């Protein structure tokens, strides 16, 4: 058998050496039972759904008129936001001082580049519900330079936190997470 023949052979479950793979357990998170934290009073609720070494996934609810004020993430900290319900206005401040504004409605995504100074506003008569995917923090947060209160991800009420490097579950909210 040549190297080419080996490479063309389909990988089957029987061929996998599971001793070299991370723990093979799936989890389900129920937002109805998950804890959250509030931003800017009680009009913004953030649910840290899942954190791994590579990404964070957050669900958030904003009451009508609520604002996540101006902030800036680290340059490597790209963010993708999915509007699940309601609508939101995303405003990005450009280097020349001009602003780009995008309105996102149900099932529309907004990409925010790392290092972008931006804010998010709930618009319309109903609450805005969103899902945010972003990389895990690997550098100091620029928000601290703007005088905002420091926060540590470790202090968040994370529903499921999986450390893939050590192959262990760091945090699992027993009320919200099932296998």
Locate 4 and state its tokens.
């080419």
Whether residue 139 has pLDDT greater than 80: no
Is the pLDDT at 164 greater than 90, yes or no? no
> Residue 175's pLDDT is what?
92
**Which three-class secondary structure state does DSSP give residue 5?**
helix
Looking at residues 15-27, what average pLDDT do you find?
78
Full set of structural domains in the chain with CATH: 33-168 (2.60.120.10)
Q: Report the pLDDT averaged over residues 9-23.
A: 71
Q: What are phi and psi of 7, to 5 degrees?
A: -70, -30
d(CA 112, CA 91): 10
> HEC profile for 47-115?
EEEEECCCEEEEEEEECCCCEEEEEECCCCCCEEEEEEECEEEEEEECCCCCEEEEEEECCCEEEECCC
Cα(74)–Cα(76) distance, rounded to whole angstroms? 6
pLDDT band at 58 (very low <50, low <70, confident <90, very high): very high
Q: What whole-number distance in Å separates Cα of residue 81 and Cα of residue 104?
A: 9
Percent of the chain with pLDDT over 70: 82
The residue with greater pLDDT, 77 or 67, is 67
């Amino acid at each position: 058998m040549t190297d080419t023949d080996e490479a063309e052979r389909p990988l089957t479950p029987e061929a996998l050496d599971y001793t070299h793979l991370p723990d093979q357990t799936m989890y389900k998170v129920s937002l109805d039972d998950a804890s959250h934290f509030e931003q800017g009073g009680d009009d913004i609720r953030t649910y840290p759904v899942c954190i791994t070494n590579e990404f964070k996934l957050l669900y958030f609810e904003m009451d009508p008129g609520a604002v996540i004020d101006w902030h800036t993430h680290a340059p490597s900290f790209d963010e993708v936001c999915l509007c699940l319900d309601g609508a939101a206005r995303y405003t990005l401040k450009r280097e020349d001082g001009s602003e780009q504004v995008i309105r996102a409605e149900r099932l529309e995504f907004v990409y925010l580049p790392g290092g972008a100074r931006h804010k998010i506003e709930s618009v319309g008569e109903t609450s805005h519900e969103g899902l945010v995917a972003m990389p895990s923090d690997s550098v100091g947060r620029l928000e601290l330079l703007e005088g905002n209160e420091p926060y540590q991800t470790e202090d968040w009420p994370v529903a499921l936190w999986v450390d893939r490097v050590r192959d262990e579950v760091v945090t699992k909210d027993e009320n919200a997470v099932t296998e």
